[in-house]
Amino acid sequence: MSSISRKLLTFLLGGLVVVGIVAGGATYLKAREELDELFDYQLAQVAHTFSRQESVTPLPSSGINYEEEAELALQVWEKGTFLSADPPGRALPLQREGLSTVYSGGRHWRVFVLRAGSRSVQVSQPIEARREISVNFALRTVVPLLLTIPFFALFIWLSVRNGLRPLIRLADEISRRSPASLEPLPIHGLPAEVRPLVGRLNLLLEKLAHAIESQKRFVADAAHELRTPLAVVGLQARVLERSADDAERTEALERLKEGVGRAARLVGQLLALARLEPEAPPLWSNVALTRLAGEIIAERSSLALEKGVDLGMTDSEPVTITGEEEALRAMVGNLVDNAVRHTLPGGTVDVAVRGGERMAVIEVTDTGPGIPPDDRERVFDRFFRRGGNSTGSGLGLAIVKSAVERHGGSITLGEGDGGKGLKVTVSLPCSGSSIHHPVAQHSEGI
């Protein structure tokens, strides 16, 4: 399992070790550079000192044991003749005047030669002696830093643990909650880095609470609405059972069929509305609106003909949008059903589909009684029926509104041609880019 604290400790401690190694290497290189300059200067000083002496004396220590640590070697020539060496046995051939680096006796040497009159003084030092001194100097500088790494590691561990404590408290707060506890998480006292996470969680909890509440309300409303038609069906079944002759049985059977049909339509509307809930997963595809509207008109033509309503399409531009075909079919179907049901015999219902650069428009116009402006704010509510009308389920326009919102569109209500009837105008985005971010809805209800 991935752990934030483990990653932080790994990165921080790893970074600390890397910094220690880099610091040690840089200290060593800097010490070597400065010590090389210092030793070159000392080689020259020793050479100048012995160039003015009449005889070779033991080398001065000047606070450093040069013989044992720096391993300085001194050689003197007088008129080309080797005079003496200190310490004995460290004899190198006479080199050119000035500083130079030579290889002799299996070792690299740093050599300084000074010519003063007839005397030549040569002071030499092994390079490896310098490197040992540089390493010792770097270690004396870096070792104290390395010894503090465990203390820094403990400090980093405590800091990381203290910094992640708000997340631990948040996790404990969530784990202690029951599935029904959807109150917002406390945000007071949390670090600024954690607050966006808690804010998103609270937003999710709010949406979840709203969804659960909507589901409970939907189930309660559905149970309430189904109770009446089912009771009526049961009553009609008993009437059919007690019918004394064929005429009564026939009439009771017809009423029973009507009751079953109303209950079936209500159940179908409830299922359609449930599929259009915001939490339901969408199935997007390219939908030809003109073809879809034509199919719905053809399906309802027999009902319109039976009622004596002229149902047809006035404008039929080829329009294709990205959307959910079943939701769009339910939307257009309910608009046409409502228009046909509320239009008196001899009236007309016209359907128009038009396209634009960014929006597709569907218009359904009828010559029915229309909807008063005072009711246009309520007709999209679930189970709302105008004037105590009991023939419908009160869900058709709620389904229309849900489908429009699901596609990021808008719906408006107005008067039909000549100020009579009702005109419903639905605008839907032609592209799927607006579907996931619905525009503000302007609903005046049906």
The reply to whether the predicted model has a pTM over 0.75 is: no
Burial class, 154, CB count within 10 angstroms (exposed 0-12 / middle 13-18 / buried 19+): exposed
CA 140 to chain centre: 50
Task: Give me the helices (H) in 243-288, please.
Answer: 246-275
Distance (Å, whole) CA 45 – CA 129 = 19
Find out whether 26 and 33 touch, Cβ atoms under 8 Å.
no
Distance (Å, whole) CA 46 – CA 42 = 6
Q: What is the pLDDT along the chain (446 residues), one digit of tens a residue?
A: 567 777 888 888 888 888 878 887 887 888 888 888 888 898 888 888 877 766 555 444 333 344 445 678 888 888 878 877 777 766 688 888 899 999 888 888 899 999 888 888 888 888 888 888 888 877 887 788 778 878 888 888 888 888 778 877 888 888 888 777 788 888 777 777 778 888 888 888 888 887 777 777 666 666 655 666 677 778 778 877 777 787 877 887 887 777 777 677 667 666 666 665 655 566 778 888 889 999 989 988 888 898 899 999 887 778 888 888 888 888 888 899 888 988 899 999 999 998 877 889 999 999 988 888 877 777 777 666 655 454 555 667 777 888 888 888 898 888 888 778 899 999 998 864 444 433 333 333 33
Helix (H) or strand (E) holding 74, with range, is strand 73-78
* Structure tokens given for 146: 């390395």
Q: Which residues, in sequence order, are CB contacts of 51 under 8 Å at separation 6+?
A: 114, 116, 119, 121
Distance (Å, whole) CA 277 – CA 211 = 9
For residue 227, what pLDDT is reported?
A: 67
Distance (Å, whole) CA 403 – CA 273 = 9
What is 9-26 written as a DSSP string? HHHHHHHHHHHHHHHHHH
Q: Which domains are seen in the chain, by residue range?
A: 4-151 (no CATH), 195-273 (1.10.287.130), 283-434 (3.30.565.10)
Distance (Å, whole) CA 310 – CA 98 = 118
Give the 3-state secondary structure of residue 347: coil
Q: Within 13 A of 202's CA, how many CA atoms are on the CB side?
A: 12
Name the DSSP class of 418.
Answer: G
Distance (Å, whole) CA 184 – CA 196 = 13
Bridge partners for 77 per DSSP? 82, 120
Find out whether 315 and 374 touch, Cβ atoms under 8 Å.
no
For residue 337, what pLDDT is reported?
A: 86
Find out whether 339 and 324 touch, Cβ atoms under 8 Å.
no
Burial class, 36, CB count within 10 angstroms (exposed 0-12 / middle 13-18 / buried 19+): middle
Task: Give me the helices (H) in 343-439, please.
Answer: 396-406
Tell me which residue has tokens 């998480």: 185
Find out whether 359 and 300 touch, Cβ atoms under 8 Å.
no
What is 181-249 written as a DSSP string? --PPPP-TT--TTTHHHHHHHHHHHHHHHHHHHHHHHHHHHHHHHHHHHHHHHHHHHHHHHH--SHHHH
